[in-house]
Structure formats: structure tokens, C-alpha cells
Structure 1
Amino acid sequence: MNESINQNTGFGERSTDMGGRMVNKDGTFNIRRIGIRVHHRVSNYQNMLTMPRWQFLLVIFFVYLLINCFFTALYWYAGTEGLQGIHHQKDTWGQLKELFFFSTQTLTTVGYGRINPISETANWIAAIESLIGFLSLAIATGLLYGRFSRPRAFIRFSDLIVYTHYKGGKALMFRLVCYKDDHLLTNAEIKVNVRIVMEDNSYRFYNLKLERSRVDSLVLNWTVVHPIDEDSPFNDLSQKEIVNLQPEISAYLTGFDEVYSSMVVARISYAIQDFKFGFKFLPMYFSKSKRTDLDLAKLNLIDQE
């Protein structure tokens, strides 16, 4: 078993220095960096690429609204007499609305023509706004392209890991599946580690030997199996002893996505509360009308042995 010890995980070995699990359920690392300013450690570009779609659209709309409100204020303080076509007989709110929509036309270079700047100050403001409009459009286009072209692993892991009888012995199992019709992985490979707490309050990491660590094509679901034999850190341990070790199993999946023509990565971890002892996974796929149906809703379907 000593040969399976992994000292290259990148995590510390003292349990008092680590808080909670190593890897969150969504695959992100449970690490918070401190000690430097936020703008030095936070990547706004990365955040814009990875945030949910509704948040991205909300940020784009908010920035668009903020820029137009800013230039509306500049046109107002520069004086509405510097703009030809403004209806001066309107009240303040009516003039502000006209300035705002003139700003949107200038920012997007639409320029319908009814309102145009005639003073030098208004012309300078409009010139600067049109430049910002070009730059903003380029940035927004780049972000949209980056979001669409960014390789993603469309992989779902089971929420649970089962401890079950297997081939005359015991085994730990979890499973995963590609949930997009076209984004199937080829040359998929998975590595699985476990972190356990030792008696001296330190962590020890082990590579878990798998029955199969690579598949040529991830077409159906893949049940990842760790047979518990003499090389396993769980060998000859009872359920209570395994619970006392507070194991955290982390998995790292890589594969080639033919749609992106790129390698993609997916991660997951299972803490002790995710273990199910004495259960087994039920089949996800079945034959129907000369084809095979894969039921993704059954990814977490288990039954007692």
C-alpha cells in the first residue's frame, strides 16, 4: 500500500491547517486566497467567461446602462443648447430622456439625425462616447466569442459513492456520464485519490487503483470501480473504521472533445457524507426498438444489496 501513497497532490499534510474538503462538489478547489489586494488575485476576464449566462447578460446590460447614464449627465451639464433638435419646451425629465436616447444612438453609432451636437463641448463629448462605443462593442464581442468557444466538459458525476460487494470482495464505485448528445469524449482517462486523516492528526494521500482508468469512447455511463484489495487503503477496514478516517475521494477526468477539438477537464470529490454503504447502482441504459436508451435521470439511482 505504501507504493500508492501520493505526495504530489498539491495539498498540505497537516489536517489542522486545512478547513473542510479539498474539492467542492462542483469541481472547484476549496481554497480562498488572502494577503493581497482583491484586484491582484481576481481575474475579471475569467469571471466574465465562467459566470452563468443570466449574470453575464445582466452585467452587459448594467455596463451599457451605466455608460449611457454617465454621458447623459455630461450632455446635461454641458447644456442642452449645445444639441440641435432638443425639444426645450419639454420638462426636465423629458429632456433627460431625449439626452439618454441620443447617448445610446451615439454609443452604438446609429445616429438617427434628429438630434446632433453643435457646440464644441457637445462635439467633444460625442466624439469620446463614439470611441468608447467602438471599444465596448469590441470587448463585448470578444467576451461573447470567448464564452462560446471556451471548451467545457459536459460531464455529470453521481452525487453518491457506494461501498458494495463486487466480484467476491468489496469495492468503491461512483459513475459519470456525458449529458450532451454531440459532446462525447474520446480517450477519456480518470485519476482518483483519497485523503484520509491519520492518528497523529495529519493527512495522507493515496492513489486509488482502478479496475479501469481509461476508455476509448465515453458513449454510455462509466462506473468507476476501485476494488478493495491488499493494495487499497480501505483493506480490512470496517464501516466504522472507514468513517473514522474521514476520507475524501477526489477524481480528475480528462478527455478529448471532438466538437471543441480540445482536451477538457472535469473534477469531483466525495466526502464521508456522500458514502453509501451496502448499496449498488442500478443500470442506466436499456435496449428499446433496436437502439439503446441512456436514462440520465437514473445517474444517482441506487438500491440496497
Structure 2
Amino acid sequence: MAAHRTRTKVFRLGERKIIAERLPQSFWTDLHHYAMTASWPRFFAALAAGFICLNTLFALLYVLGAAFGDEPVANARPGSFADYFFFSVETLATVGYGDLHPHSLYGHLVATIATFVGVSSVAIVAGATFARFARPRARLLFAQNPVIAPHDGARMLMIRFANERVNAITEAAAQLWIIRQERTAESASFRKFYRLRLTRDDNPVFALTWTLMHPLDEESPLHGWEKEDFAHSDADIVVIFSGHDESSNQLVRDRQHYSAREVLVDHQYVDLSRSDAQGATFLDFGQLNKTRPIGPNASPL
């Protein structure tokens, strides 16, 4: 049986480093995914490399024709790889300055193939670039730490986030999950997912800030947890957000991961808002990450 080539991928979920081993090689069968997920520098570097390789290939075909006594490109210097390369660039880009042009049947055949490849490449590259540029994304600022504090007489897990664009996101919805490792009665280890109930999981018009609140009552998977439980837990807390961005008229999504060790117990967020004498309200987003211990003489962190 032939051995299949495999790969290893390293990625992170919050602070957790995960290494996936022996994944099937799927680069050529999943080019769209790689085009969408690569960074912009890598994306353009790959385009440049492909462009150079294609033109080098066609230049070598012209050189091959010339080596057998053919004159594939008129006005090209004999044996000049540079002339053939730049003629290929002009052909693939459908520029055609006119100084160099196909001269023989062989030259016309190679130029025809190059033109077809060039037109197809332009369509593919333009589509991939537009898809990357037009991909809708929410611009959310999440507080650095979740906190646990009392609210309306109940103990709450709170996570604050803000809309960086300060525009209207309608029909906004949020989910809060906790993911933790547990053992079954058969001593098997399983990664289990629990959706945490929120006091409010939707927002008709999200434009500024939103604080998610999960009551730590008897129904909560975190009921009875204290500071030490969070400090020694390997659980992850995940926020999933979605909504309709009125500026782009598109559905936007975002996601944030926290480690349970990042939860600040018996802390509360510092208020972002203040008012002046004229009644104007100011929101200081620089305070988004600031918290303070609960107590009369507590100072912000």
C-alpha cells in the first residue's frame, strides 16, 4: 500500500497550543481555503512567486524553440532569456507593446497557451483578492480578563466587549461556552462543551459596549467555583458573536477565547462613561481592560 504524505499543523485556541499530526496533505485540493486564511504578505508573496514561475516556464519554452533553429519571437535577441521572459510577461498580462511578437507557428502556439493561462490567472487572482478584501468581519474589542462580581444580588461571570467601529450592528447575538476536560465513569477522558446561560444573549442595536453576564447559580457548570478552582483549571471560555452590520449590509462574526485562569474573582470592571456639565456622555475605551477589586478602598488594576 502506498504511503500517503501527511503534515503537522500547530494552532492555538486561546492560550492552549494544539498540534495536529498526520493530517492528509490537501494544499492543491484546498487552495481556496489557503488563499482565504494566509496573511496578506504571504498571499502576495505566493502570487509573485507563481507569476515569476509561470513566466520562467514560458520563457524556457521559447528558448527551447530557438535552440532547435526556430525563431519563435520576432525582434528577440538570439538566445536572450531576458527577452523571452519579458515577452512572456507582456503576453500573460495581455499588454502586448508590439516590439516583440510571435513570429513562427511554434511561437504563436506557445503565446496562445500563455494568453489563455494569463486570462485565467487574472480572473482567479482578482476573485481571490476581492473575496479576501470583501470578507465581512466584526471589529470587536474584548476586555483582557473576565471578572466575577455581584450584580442585582446574584454572583455573575462577566465579559465586557465594545464595537471598535462604533456603528450599528443590529440583531446582535452572543453565546458563551465553557470547554473542559472531564472523565467518564469508564475513566475515559473527553472534552466537553457547556453553553453558559446569559441574562441577555441578544442586543437589538449594538453600537458601543456590551457586558455578557452568566449567573453562577445551581444550574451553572461553574456553580461553587472559587478563586482556586479557576486558577488551577484547564478549561477554556469562548465567546461567539454575530450580528448584521448596517454599514456593509452583511452578517459579521467574531470569537474570543479565554483561559479559566484569566478570570478575576471578586473584581469588577471600571466604568467607561462620564458626563460633562453640558450633559454630554463620554466613553473612554482606554478603560475597557481596567478592573478593580470589590471593596470600599479598592483601586483600579
- TM-score, reference length from structure 2: 0.79
Residue 224 of structure 1: how far off its partner (Å): 0.9
Matches within 5 A, 1:5-16: none
**1:301/1:127 CA distance change after superposition, 3 Å:** same
**1:194 is the counterpart of 2:184:** no
Matches within 5 A, 1:21-60: 24-25=13-14, 32=20, 34=22, 36-39=24-27, 43-60=30-47
Partner of 1:129: 114
State the secondary structure of the residue aligned to 1:152: coil
State the secondary structure of the residue aligned to 2:34: helix
Matches within 5 A, 1:67-106: 67-79=54-66, 81-88=71-78, 95-106=80-91
State the secondary structure of the residue aligned to 1:81: coil
- For structure 2, the 5+ residue unaligned runs are 1-10, 295-301
Name the stretch that deviates more: 96-105 or 258-267: 258-267
Amino acid at match of 1:53: W
| 1:83 and 1:118 in contact (8 A); partners too | yes
Partner Cα distance (1:53, 1:255) in 2: 26
**1:211 is the counterpart of 2:195:** no
Matches within 5 A, 1:247-262: 247-262=235-250
State the secondary structure of the residue aligned to 2:158: strand
State the secondary structure of the residue aligned to 1:69: helix
Amino acid at match of 2:26: V
The Cα offsets for residues 165-214 of structure 1, whole Å up to 9 and x where unpaired, read as 433442211122222244x3111111112234446555554332212211
- For structure 1, the 5+ residue unaligned runs are 1-21
Partner of 1:9: none
Residue 291 of structure 1: how far off its partner (Å): 5.0
Partner of 1:63: 50
Residue 229 of structure 1: how far off its partner (Å): 2.2
Percent identical: 25
Say how many residue pairs are matched.
Answer: 276
Partner of 2:165: 180
Which structure carries more helix by proportion? Answer: 1
Partner Cα distance (1:259, 1:283) in 2: 28
| 2:231 and 2:261 in contact (8 A); partners too | no
- TM-score, reference length from structure 1: 0.78
**1:147 is the counterpart of 2:114:** no
Amino acid at match of 1:163: I
**1:223 is the counterpart of 2:211:** yes
Partner of 1:12: none
State the secondary structure of the residue aligned to 1:159: coil
**1:30/1:105 CA distance change after superposition, 3 Å:** same
Name the stretch that deviates more: 190-199 or 286-295: 286-295
Which structure carries more strand by proportion? Answer: 2
**1:167 is the counterpart of 2:152:** yes
* Matching residue within 251, 259, 264 for 1:271: 259
| 1:149 and 1:260 in contact (8 A); partners too | no
Partner Cα distance (1:29, 1:152) in 2: 24
